[in-house]
Structure 1
Amino acid sequence: MDSFQPALLQTLESLRGAHLQAPFDYADRVRLLRKLRRAVKARSEAFAEAISRDFGRRSRHETLIAEVMMVLHDIDHHLRHLRRWMRPRPVAADGLFQPARCEIRPQALGVVGVISPWNYPLQLALMPLTAALAAGNRVMLKPSELTPRTADLLADLVQECFKPNEVTISLGGPELAAAFSALPLDHLVFTGSTAIGRRVMEAAARNLTPVTLELGGKSPTLVMADFPQAEAVSRIVSGKFLNAGQTCIAPDYVLVPHDRREGFVRALQQEIESRYPSLTQTPDYTTIVSDRHHARLQSLVDEAEAKGARVFRVNPSGESLPASSRIFPPTLVLDPPADCALMREEIFGP
């Protein structure tokens, strides 16, 4: 960590000095956001290809919809509302302070750090960047090392769109991330696991750096007795198998009335089979990002099965799925014990 600290501190001080000397006004912010939008749109296919190669296989359509389109929409949203957001807002003065006039004036913080994850490596890097720029901040970005091709494309984009005293990007692994978290930033945004989030918050706390943490959870899905089964199944499959379940808001477990359970499981299996008739040939069934993540998913299922859970692996064509392929079949686990890791940790898989 110490080897990265001097260079990172120098970058931070350069950005902070630029912010203090020439804060971004409305025109600056609009200019930067428009440049970012043009660059993302021009590279949309390149990002889809890079992300797919980083994963092993990632649905092009999912990348264009869940990453590129969301980033473009987010930039448009900020451009549409930015002038109003920047405008001072009058508020009533307390009687003790009459005849004073009070107003709230939005002010930039200074330098914002963004540590982005691997599961949506474009969206979750550029949406925090967009918000920080719109608020008038300089930004230091650290993308995930698990998606290196995407990180390289992001680095090219940053160098094309921004001056070194506007936005910087740092590429590296856990040691760099630890040093990055320990910087005396004006705000730090982290998206990732709860375990790493604790470390990030601990490091930031030493500098009293405010943090925004978007971490994992269990995302329950409750299906009521009077809700149409076909609609529930369609929604659950769409949400769960987007990015092969490697999504923080994916349905994690489903609660259904006991007398509907068996029929619900059959309907889920049929829906999955109709969407993914082949797990090796379909371009829209995403692989798991790394061998380590694939092994973790397998251990979750193995433990639950060893403790008495019923496991249904949906593999419509009966294809061989070696661990080296990182293709994890859609898996339904019935009645997992409450004390197994599957019910205590975010699954983050299909």
Structure 2
Amino acid sequence: MNDFFALYAEHDQAALRARLEQMRAGFLSELPVTFEVRRDRIRRAIAMTLKHADALLAASLQDFPGRRAELARLTDLFMPLEAMRHAERKLAAWMKPQKRGAPQPFSLFGARAQVQYQPLGVVGVVAPWNAPLTLLLLPLATILAAGNRAFLRPSDQTPACAAALDAAVREYFAADEVSVALGGLQTSQAFTALPLDHLLFTGSTGVGRAVAASAAENLTPLTLELGGKCPVFVLADADVDEAGRRLALGKLMNGGQGCLCPDTAYVPAALQPSLLAAMDAEVRRQTQGDDLCGLFSAQHYQRLQAIVEEARQAGAQVLTLGTQACDEARLRMAPTVIVDPAPTLRASREELFGPVLVLRSCDALLPAMQALRQGEKPLGLYVFSRSRHAAQQVLDASFSGGATVNDTLMHLSVKDLPFGGVGHSGMGAYGFGIEGFRCFSHARAVYWQGGPFGLLRAMHPPYGTLYRFAIEGTLRRWQRRYADVPPRGSRS
């Protein structure tokens, strides 16, 4: 049986490599990738998503039946289409070379320096189950804008989405332009081992570590979007009612099954009753008419229930928000708050990734910040405060991939902000606007020389008067300027 799986994986790898070679050959034969070609591909991606919207939505709901159709339509269709439209409008500006200052005295004679953004080639994208189409179609906008070919790998846990996307792509794109890799777990493993020109992976930290090791064999450039326990700081001066409403909104987005969903809230003890009351009111408002988002799988449901039960058995206070009870048959878990669980419990150590929030008493902010800085850096961080200065102090004393002040998740919605993690929460950053275009491009340094050959004599032998004036003279001036700087600095 092991020989069978090994043979299957080998054949799978060979087929994927053949597809990749076809895409790379198409890319190389097309250079340079003009504005007209890029715009045409973006427009075809828009037309494809609109024409196949119903089929894509149905597939998303088939793979992830616990979600409302309205949420799937927003995240899997509207958000990618908005990013594609943005790329279409901004493409010409993004493609323009950026000027840089050329060195003197060459600049006086017409020398120029610039950054030209060059396409990478074939960019691979691996999407997670919690955003089965969103995190394939969103980056597709800037991958195509950057002049690349896109090799898309849906999660092996969302086969309906994979099939629907493959049908849509085949209608609108040639096989060497955009392609979808179909198959199970072994396909995913083989895909990340391909010698791609860039690989964007979104998923868990554990799997991300394996992906990085696999990509290292080919020195494949990586962007890893992972996760972590995104913290929330509600400061003493915060509008507690507003903070509670917005925290509940972020916690319940997609049933809490998102890498940026808040995980642990640090709140002064005196504010906790008001915050919980505001969260409870928002949960009740959101879940009117059976609107609670279900979990993706029975395994995920059982994992979260085990985390909550462990905390309860250990003596932590466990609170349920809203009126809807847990329903295992429908994979619906009541929004739950675990108050001050012990550091050794799973609720304190694991990313929750569901409608469960850890609430920690935090009357002294400094110790909490110091403890967090010793741990793994999260993907997102949130601060609630009426004071811009106080919020900035939290940002200055912390690490995270991104942050939002007086709300949650919202920095992801700004197209021209970078989106990425740091350390265990990710590697590199892309985005759904210009930052994505730059991530999927090579920033190529280009220098156009100007001036007579004699200007180079200061840097090349035989070294004479010009060298002594330009190099040795400049070094002496710098020595005089910095002579009074103390060796170890001073702290006052």
Interval of TM-score (by shorter of Structure 1 and Structure 2) = over 0.9
Find the counterpart in structure 1 of residue 158 from structure 2.
147
Deviations 1:96-139 (A, max 9, x none): 76543222111111111111111111110111222111111111
User: What is the CA–CA distance in structure 1 between the aligned matches of 2:126 and 2:326, rounded to whole Å?
Assistant: 37
Find the counterpart in structure 1 of residue 302 from structure 2.
295
Deviations 1:150-191 (A, max 9, x none): 221111111111101101111122211111111111100000
Find the counterpart in structure 2 of residue 15 from structure 1.
23
In the alignment, is the contact (CA less than 8 A) between 1:117 and 1:192 conserved in 2? yes
Distance apart, 1:261 and its partner CA: 1.5
**Corresponding position: 1:180 with 2:187:** no
Distance apart, 1:45 and its partner CA: 3.5
Q: What amino acid sits opposite 1:309 in the alignment?
A: A
Where 2:275 maps in the other structure, the secondary structure is helix
- Work out which of the residue numbers 8, 24, 28 in structure 1 matches 2:37: 28
**Corresponding position: 1:47 with 2:56:** yes
Q: What amino acid sits opposite 1:13 in the alignment?
A: E
Deviations 1:177-235 (A, max 9, x none): 11111111110000011111001111101111100011012111111222222211111
The alignment's TM-score, normalised by the length of structure 1, stands at 0.93
User: What is the CA–CA distance in structure 2 between the aligned matches of 1:277 and 1:167, rounded to whole Å?
Assistant: 42
- Work out which of the residue numbers 327, 345, 366 in structure 2 matches 1:321: 327
In the alignment, is the contact (CA less than 8 A) between 1:243 and 1:285 conserved in 2? no
The alignment's TM-score, normalised by the length of structure 2, stands at 0.67
User: What is the CA–CA distance in structure 1 between the aligned matches of 2:120 and 2:315, rounded to whole Å?
Assistant: 53
**Corresponding position: 1:3 with 2:11:** yes
Q: 1:3 to 1:303 in 2, by over 3 A?
A: farther
In the alignment, is the contact (CA less than 8 A) between 1:277 and 1:316 conserved in 2? no
**Corresponding position: 1:333 with 2:338:** yes
User: What is the CA–CA distance in structure 2 between the aligned matches of 1:320 and 1:250, rounded to whole Å?
Assistant: 20
Deviations 1:309-340 (A, max 9, x none): 111234615x5623x32111111111111222
**Corresponding position: 1:71 with 2:76:** no
User: What is the CA–CA distance in structure 2 between the aligned matches of 1:312 and 1:325, rounded to whole Å?
Assistant: 21
In the alignment, is the contact (CA less than 8 A) between 1:55 and 1:286 conserved in 2? no
- Work out which of the residue numbers 202, 214, 226 in structure 1 matches 2:213: 202
Distance apart, 1:49 and its partner CA: 2.8
User: What is the CA–CA distance in structure 1 between the aligned matches of 2:124 and 2:83, rounded to whole Å?
Assistant: 19
Find the counterpart in structure 2 of residue 249 from structure 1.
260
Find the counterpart in structure 2 of residue 163 from structure 1.
174
Find the counterpart in structure 2 of residue 344 from structure 1.
349
User: What is the CA–CA distance in structure 1 between the aligned matches of 2:53 and 2:83, rounded to whole Å?
Assistant: 15
Aligned pairs, how many? 344
Distance apart, 1:46 and its partner CA: 3.2
User: What is the CA–CA distance in structure 2 between the aligned matches of 1:101 and 1:212, rounded to whole Å?
Assistant: 32
In the alignment, is the contact (CA less than 8 A) between 2:255 and 2:295 conserved in 1? yes
Q: What amino acid sits opposite 1:93 in the alignment?
A: A
In the alignment, is the contact (CA less than 8 A) between 2:66 and 2:330 conserved in 1? no
Deviations 1:66-124 (A, max 9, x none): 23111111011111111111122232222376543222111111111111111111110
Distance apart, 1:250 and its partner CA: 1.0
| Of 44-53 and 252-261, the range deviating more from structure 2 | 44-53
In the alignment, is the contact (CA less than 8 A) between 2:100 and 2:113 conserved in 1? yes
Where 1:2 maps in the other structure, the secondary structure is helix
Q: Which runs of 5+ in 2 are unaligned?
A: 1-8, 356-492
> Identity over the aligned pairs, expressed in percent?
39
Where 1:346 maps in the other structure, the secondary structure is coil
Q: What amino acid sits opposite 1:300 in the alignment?
A: I
In the alignment, is the contact (CA less than 8 A) between 1:59 and 1:243 conserved in 2? no
User: What is the CA–CA distance in structure 1 between the aligned matches of 2:282 and 2:93, rounded to whole Å?
Assistant: 46
Q: What amino acid sits opposite 2:292 in the alignment?
A: Y
Find the counterpart in structure 2 of residue 263 from structure 1.
274
**Corresponding position: 1:307 with 2:314:** yes
Larger-Rg structure: 2
User: What is the CA–CA distance in structure 1 between the aligned matches of 2:326 and 2:117, rounded to whole Å?
Assistant: 57
User: What is the CA–CA distance in structure 2 between the aligned matches of 1:8 and 1:219, rounded to whole Å?
Assistant: 36
Distance apart, 1:277 and its partner CA: 4.2
Q: What amino acid sits opposite 1:331 in the alignment?
A: T
Where 2:117 maps in the other structure, the secondary structure is coil
Q: 1:226 to 1:45 in 2, by over 3 A?
A: farther
In the alignment, is the contact (CA less than 8 A) between 2:196 and 2:220 conserved in 1? yes
Where 2:163 maps in the other structure, the secondary structure is helix
- Work out which of the residue numbers 107, 123, 140 in structure 2 matches 1:112: 123
User: What is the CA–CA distance in structure 1 between the aligned matches of 2:235 and 2:322, rounded to whole Å?
Assistant: 28
Find the counterpart in structure 2 of residue 90 from structure 1.
99
User: What is the CA–CA distance in structure 2 between the aligned matches of 1:321 and 1:88, rounded to whole Å?
Assistant: 56
Distance apart, 1:141 and its partner CA: 0.7
Q: State the Cα RMSD in Å.
A: 1.7
Where 1:103 maps in the other structure, the secondary structure is strand
User: What is the CA–CA distance in structure 2 between the aligned matches of 1:172 and 1:303, rounded to whole Å?
Assistant: 37
- Work out which of the residue numbers 132, 136, 142 in structure 2 matches 1:125: 136
Distance apart, 1:269 and its partner CA: 2.3
Pairing 1:206-221 to 2, within 5 Å after superposition = 206-221=217-232
User: What is the CA–CA distance in structure 2 between the aligned matches of 1:94 and 1:186, rounded to whole Å?
Assistant: 32
User: What is the CA–CA distance in structure 2 between the aligned matches of 1:35 and 1:12, rounded to whole Å?
Assistant: 21
Where 1:4 maps in the other structure, the secondary structure is helix
Q: What amino acid sits opposite 2:173 in the alignment?
A: F
The 4+ residue runs of structure 1 with deviation greater than 4 A are 96-99
Q: What amino acid sits opposite 1:83 in the alignment?
A: A
